[in-house]
Amino acid sequence: MITDKDFSYIRDLVRARCGLVLSDDKHYLVETRLSPLLQSSSLRSIAELVSALRQQEDQLQRQVVELMMTNETYFFRDVVPFDVLHQVAIPTLAASRAASGELAIWSAACSTGQEPYSIALLLREEFQRLSSWKVRILASDISTSVLARARLGRYSQYEISRGLPPHLLKHLQPSSDSWTIRDDVRGMVEFRQINLLSAWDDLPTMDIIFLRNVLIYFSDDDKRRILSRIRQLLRPDGYLFLGGAESTMHLDDHFERMLIDRAGCYRLRGEA
Q: How far apart are CA 37 and CA 168, in angstroms?
A: 37
Q: Contact 159/107 with Cβ under 8 angstroms?
A: no
Nearest to 62 by CA among 17, 22, 20: 17
CA 234 to chain centre: 16
Q: Decide if 222 is catalytic.
A: no
Q: In what order do the strands lie in the sheet with 134-141?
A: 189-193, 134-141, 102-107, 206-211, 234-242, 265-268, 255-257
Q: How far apart are CA 272 and CA 2, in angstroms?
A: 49
- Which helix H or strand E contains 180, and what residues bound it? strand 179-181
CA 189 to chain centre: 13
Query: Which of the following is catalytic: 11, 17, 33, 212?
Result: 33
Q: How far apart are CA 35 and CA 208, in angstroms?
A: 38
**192 forms bridges with which residues in the sheet?**
140
Query: Which of the following is catalytic: 6, 141, 207, 222?
Result: 141
How many C-beta neighbours within 10 Å does residue 205 have? 11
**103 forms bridges with which residues in the sheet?**
135
Q: Decide if 62 is catalytic.
A: no
Which of left, alpha, beta for 161 (phi over 0: left; psi -120 to 50: alpha)? alpha
The DSSP secondary structure of 134-152, one letter per residue, reads EEEEEEEES-HHHHHHHHH
- State the catalytic residues: 33, 141
